[in-house]
Amino acid sequence: MRMNPAKPSRQPLRLLLLAAAFAPLMVSAQTSEGKITSREAEAIQRARKGAKPRPVAPRAPLLSSELNATKVFRNAKQSVVYITSIVLAANPKMEDAPAGTGSGFVWDDQGHVVTNQHVVNTDAVKGQGPTDEADVLNVTLADGKTYKAQVIGRSLSYDIAVLQVFAPLDRLKPLPLGKSTELLVGQTTYAIGNPYGLDHTLTSGVVSALNREISSSLGNAIRGVIQTDAAINPGNSGGPLMDSAGRLIGMNTSVIGPGNRAGIGFAIPVDTMNRVVPLLIARGQLEPVYLGFTALIPAYARALGVTHGVMVSDVEADSPAARAGLRPLRLDREGHVVAAGDILLTYQGTPIQNGVQLFDLLEVEPPKGAVVFDVVRDGKVSKITMHVETPKEPKKEKL
């Protein structure tokens, strides 16, 4: 059987013609993928040989506002400190835990530094509210040297703590004080501190409002507060708020905004501090009230099923609490509970959440005469009346 020879196909020829037509586009595509021509390579080499620093463009003098800001920061920086707090491990095999950081500023020439009370509390570590202060406090000065510090005065209602810093007094430069009652909305403000642990940071803004009322970390109202739009971030707490004359006008305390960052900032006014701080230095706390009992540590109270109120851990003999018949927690030699202590539910009709809140209530409005508590004992609620006393030497651990 004879077969006819196949006709030559024109398809290969057509493909060759198309390839020739699109060859420039293919070369361009290869070049855009990183391949360069010899002419482009020569241009790069010429540019390399001529590389040198660019000349600095002259500028006009700094604006007066800029000069003032740099002056305020330069003068105040030496007075602003960085505070770190540590909780010692209960077990020697465990590591000590960092409780938090914050800012503070030198108050006087006697080694006193002022900061927020919540800066030195351990709520960040123990997760049970601001019930205790850190075991170790370190204060780092502007020159980078760190010194031990001790809380010697505290006000829960104003969120103010006074530290005694054991540093050479000639290294501690107090800030000049302004007067917050003379402030006007629109005045320039400068916030100085150590946000996120960063060394001495300056932000600026204005007085946005005056006589605000905010809640402290303990939940009580702080009145007469300065509102500012100067950025206040975590770590700024306890740092100074300055006016354009370089004077202290407030202490940066809190911020309201997304994630508590870069929102509306608030500062405790300097007039309040100038009244409270000297009392804290002299007395340790404001008009201390002595009832003569100790509140059980919240973690232990929760383990016993107490979620609200204050369980009484110990009662001093011949104290207002003892004379009122308040009953403490009783344990056997092995540490087992023999009898639960009284649980204080209300103070003068106000519900009690924990011992810190009770202390705060006593500090904000120091009672005179008799006070009434609603108390749970043996599953029943009754009222107990105590006659308060003011000791000559305040006791930190006692309510």
Q: Are 255 and 264 in contact (CB under 8 A)?
A: yes
Let me know if 237 is a catalytic residue.
yes
**DSSP label at residue 143:** T
Residue among 346, 354, 349, 396 nearest 376 (CA):
346
Catalytic residue among 237, 243, 254, 374: 237
Place of tokens 């108390």: 375
Out of 132, 159, 271, 374, the active site residue is 159
- Could you count the other beta carbons within 10 Å of the beta carbon of residue 69? 18
Backbone angles phi, psi at 247, to 5 degrees: -105, 150
From residue 312, how far is each of 53, 110, 289, 293, 320 by CA, in Å? 74, 38, 17, 7, 14
Asked if 353 and 280 touch (Cβ cutoff 8 Å), the reply is no
Bridge partner residues of 346 (DSSP): 351, 374
Q: Which of 165, 164, 196 is nearest to 100 (CA)?
A: 196
Beta strands 310-315; 330-331: pairing state: unpaired
Residue 113: strand, helix, or coil? strand
378 half-sphere exposure, CB direction, 13 A CA radius: 3
C-alpha separations of 280 from 37, 39, 114, 167, 181 in Å = 78, 78, 10, 20, 22
CA dist., res. 129 & res. 358, Å (int): 13
Count the Cβ atoms, other than its own, within 10 Å of residue 216. 22
List 79, 85, 103, 118, catalytic entry: 118
Active site residue 318: no
Q: Supply the residues annotated as catalytic.
A: 118, 159, 237
